[in-house]
Structure 1
Amino acid sequence: MSISGAIRGGLALALLGLAGFSGWIFSLPAATLTAEAPAVPPEEAAAMLAVLRQEGDDRPVIAVVGLNDATETNDYIATTGILRRADIADVVMLATGPGAVRLYPALRVQPDATIAAFDADHPQGADYVIVPAMSRDDDPVVMAWLQDQFRKGARIIAVCAGAKVVAAAGLLDGRRATTHWYYRAEMLERNPGIDYAANRRMVFDGKVVTTTGITAVMPMMLTLIEAIGGRSKAEAVARDLGVDGWDARHASAAFAMTRPFAITVLANRLAMWNRDSWGIDLLPGLDEVSLALVADAWSRTYRSQAVTLSGNTAAVESLNGIHILPDSGHDGWPAERRLPISPDERPADALDRALETITDRYGEATANVVAMQLEYPR
């Protein structure tokens, strides 16, 4: 289930009784805490790089795995796009079965291979496995494959609520870990052996790495690029992304369910007559990281959905070789309902602009709801 879907389901249950709903709302904090992200000791950062560093001269293989029916948009697309920018590894997008991968809350893509095809081509396994958030945490194919890859020596990197998937596979038992703020309590209840690490964007324990929310894909992938390709390579990719730094600092207390968050989500959901669809033209060579960030953000307002547009049904190849499938034709789509993806705008800037435009369209409270879901420190 998506983060927005889980929140929507929880809030809908709260509405079953007005008295109960009122009590629940007022039991929430009136605002998130203003918290400073504590510094990360240099030796901790160095240890993470050491764990992720590739041994030998062979070009590493990085597998990004997903479920066909629902995998988180940025966890799947942005991870791949950032890593392929660096050109320091062979990055393969996998799916549990044939056909497209439907992402949430937006976009559809054509994966490079199925898990079975990858195993046939790489019997020794991947060097790294990226695990996004998925619609279910315990898919048997994913469970068996992750356990097999771990046994073969792969380093496992869970992005956002992908930590729940890795935990369900038994790979977080007795380890330090983190995950998206909304799913933290659920993950720890299901897996009480996990040692939760607060105030960290990224946490490693042995050959398993976990991260916080969706936008942690940027610092995490830059850390992996630094470990494999060196600091200069990571700095070059960071400049291309519009990112100033990528350490593990994080203020966990700044992300939580609050009264304004819940009220805004409920108000936007109840305004069922007032829904917008925003079209994004799929052009060959468009920046897939910008696309993922913008489509993800606009599809988390509880007021709108991003839709990809093209002149035909064929997949469109992005800047770094991701094949994105259109949702609709572009003929007749009004110009005022299109979201531009500029080739001259860096992805981090595109996300900031999206949040500013969401503020102009739906208000600051809705933009804050989006940023909170993305676990994006504004």
Structure 2
Amino acid sequence: MRRLPTIIKWACVAGLIGFVAGGTWIVRLPEGVVATAAAVPLAESAASLVRLHPPKRPQRPVVAVIGLNAGTETTDYLMPTGILRRADVAEVKLVAVEDNPVKLYPALSVQPDMDIAGFDAEYPAGADYVIVPAMRRDDDPAIAAWLRDQQRRGAILIGVCAGAKVLAAAGLLRNHRATTHWFYRDKLRRIDPSITLVADRRWVVEPGLATTTGISASMPMALTLIEAIAGRGKALEVARSIGVEHWDAGHASAAFRMTRPFATTVLANRLRFWQRDELEIAVAPGFDAVSLAIAADAWSRTYRSRAVARAPAGATLIDRDGIRVLPDAVGPAGKNAEYIDAPGMAAPAATIDRTLAAIAGRYGDKTADVVAMQLEYLPHSP
């Protein structure tokens, strides 16, 4: 638990009281919406797979997952990387602007495989696919220029979650259909009013472009990409290994919006600023970075806690698929350290539900719902 100086505490209280006093907009918010996803026509699913077929190297395509060193969303960056590497149907590279650690948010740091210059030198023909996560900055000039160059070389660009804003800021979604995280729909329209937002789809695939809804959508999107590259059988094999029974582009968009319970729970949790839990995850050799990312990401979205990775020794943790995680702490924990269950080798899909259940047990159902809403995830629906 971290404690703020008294003067900062009271300054925060005063600010929040003022916010609540003027925040009558909260009262006008809906209580919530119950919605279910409709089935996606088979012809639409088939057309999406055709558009995602490897454009240049049908035998062994190259996938670049691009990150901004100063801030890239945790699960967006690590989940598609881990799932695609586990399938072993493509060369999958974690790329960053610089050959330095990538600070992920809201948790963890990783060492990329190479920087942009190194990728261009190793793959002069460019990538077959570039996966674009959400980033702290939508309009980084180096990333925008590199994405435009990769598109010119024939890569299919896939904006995961708010990564759609990065594509839009680079001018790559102009006059296209797209989707994004529910919280950023209006922001995406402001970046490029020519974009047509599509509701009730977990992903939208256009020629040479794809976009997805919120954070959890990178799991089924990765499976869809595996199916496009290597067929349904391989996708089913990987799906079983990560705990997914069914996936498609169907999505209940109306279930994800700003509601009164969401806003009031976030505000209440922020008011408890003097009670911030730092929860440690003990990471053992052979861990799964996808499950670790899910757990650390979710626990760091409660507005009550932050998850950190602790290693027994060593400066770098290498997961089962070669992802290099830089621990936040090394060595034995102090006597007051508080641990949460390490995901270990648990199936990633199960890790989502298990972590949400643990958050509900610690902070209540409303906080677990706030986390699920941020992940754009309906429990038991990967």
Q: What TM-score range do you get, normalising by the shorter chain?
A: over 0.9
- 1:106-130 Cα offsets, whole Å, 9 max, x none, are 0000000000110111111000000
- 1:224: which partner in 2? 225
Match of 1:34 in 2: 34
Aligned to 1:265: 266
Q: Indicate the residue corresponding to 2:6 in structure 1.
A: none
- What do residues 138-179 of structure 1 show as CA deviations (whole Å, max 9, x unaligned)? 000000000000010000001000000001111111100000
Tell me which amino acid in the other structure corresponds to 1:260. Answer: P
Contact 1:281/1:330 (<8 A) preserved: no
**1:332 CA displacement:** 2.8
How far residue 341 of structure 1 moved from its aligned partner, in angstroms, is 2.8
Distance 1:342 1:293, change over 3 A: closer
1:284 deviation in Å? Answer: 1.8
What is the SS of the residue equivalent to 1:306?
A: strand
State how far apart, in whole Å, the 1-side matches of 2:305 and 2:344 are.
24
Q: Measure how far apart 1:21 and its partner are.
A: 3.2
CA distance in 2, matches of 1:287, 1:362: 26
Amino acid at match of 2:300: S
Q: In the alignment, what sits opposite 1:45?
A: 45
Counterparts of residues 295-374 of structure 1 (less than 5 Å)? 295-333=296-334, 337-374=338-375
Structure 1 residues 14, 185: CA separation in 2 closer, same or farther (over 3 Å shift)?
A: farther
Q: For residue 8 of structure 2, what is the aligned residue in structure 1? A: none
In 1, the alpha carbon distance for the partners of 2:47 and 2:99 equals 38
Separation (CA, whole Å) in 2 of partners of 1:205 and 1:13? 48
Q: How does 1:259-298 map to 2 (within 5 A)?
A: 259-298=260-299
CA distance in 2, matches of 1:336, 1:202: 40
SS of 2:24's partner is helix
Alignment of 1:36-75 (within 5 A): 36-54=36-54, 57-75=58-76
CA contact (8 A) 2:281 2:310 kept: yes
Per-residue deviation at 1:335?
8.8
In the other structure, the counterpart of 2:103 is: 102
In the alignment, the residues of structure 2 paired with residue 30 and residue 353 of structure 1 have an alpha-carbon distance, to the nearest angstrom, of 26
Decide whether the 8 Å contact of 1:132 with 1:159 is kept in 2: yes
Relative to structure 1, the CA distance from residue 166 to residue 283 in structure 2 (aligned partners, 3 Å threshold; closer, same or farther) is same
Which letter maps to 2:50?
A
Q: Distance in 2 between matches of 1:124 and 1:166?
A: 21
Distance (Å, rounded) in 2 between the aligned partners of 1:51 and 1:320: 27
Distance 2:42 2:341 in 1: 40
TM-align CA RMSD: 1.9
Per the TM alignment, residue 231 of structure 1 is displaced from its structure 2 partner at its CA by 0.5
Mapped pair 1:86 → 2:121 = no
Judged with a 3 Å threshold, the aligned counterparts in structure 2 of structure 1 residues 13 and 158 are, in CA distance, closer, same or farther, namely farther
> C-alpha offsets along residues 29-69 of structure 1, whole Å, 9 cap, x if unaligned?
122x1112122111110011001112554310000000001
Q: 1:271 to 1:231 in 2, by over 3 A?
A: same
Quote the Cα distance in structure 2 between the aligned partners of 1:89 and 1:174: 30
Distance 1:207 1:12, change over 3 A: farther
- Residue matched to 1:3: none
1:171-182 matches, within 5 Å, as: 171-182=172-183
Residue 146 of structure 2 is matched in structure 1 by 145
Instruction: Give the Cα separation in 2 of the matches to 1:22 and 1:169.
Output: 35
User: Distance between the aligned counterparts of 1:330 and 1:357, measured in 2?
Assistant: 25
TM-score (normalised: structure 2): 0.92
User: Is the 2:133–2:161 contact (alpha carbons within 8 Å) kept by the matching residues of 1?
Assistant: yes
Aligned residue for 2:92, secondary structure, equals strand
Corresponding residue SS for 2:370: helix
Which residue number corresponds to residue 243 of structure 1?
A: 244
Superposed, 1:123-134 pairs within 5 Å as 123-134=124-135
Secondary structure at 2:38 match in 1: coil
Question: Following TM superposition, by how much is the alpha carbon of 1:342 offset from its aligned partner in structure 2, in angstroms?
Answer: 4.5
Instruction: Confirm or deny that 1:201 pairs with 2:169.
Output: no
2: CA distance between counterparts of 1:23 and 1:94? 44
Amino acid at match of 1:203: V
Q: What residue is the counterpart of 1:6 in the other structure?
A: none
Which residue identity does 2:35 align to in structure 1? Answer: A
CA contact 1:14–1:24 (8 Å) conserved in 2: no
Q: How many residues align?
A: 367
Which residue type is aligned with residue 30 of structure 2?
Answer: P
For 1:18 and 1:118, the matched residues in 2 are separated by 47
Identity %: 55
CA-CA distance at 1:12 after TM superposition: 11
When residues 333 and 82 of structure 1 are mapped into structure 2, their CA distance, relative to the original with a 3 A threshold, is: farther
Cα shift readout 1:318-340 (whole Å, capped 9, x = no counterpart): 01000000101241345982223
* Secondary structure of 2:60's aligned partner: coil
Residue 189 of structure 1 deviates from its aligned partner by 1.8
Question: TM-score, normalised to structure 1's length?
Answer: 0.93
Secondary structure of residue in 2 paired with 1:209: strand
Unaligned residue ranges in structure 2 (runs of 5+): 1-11
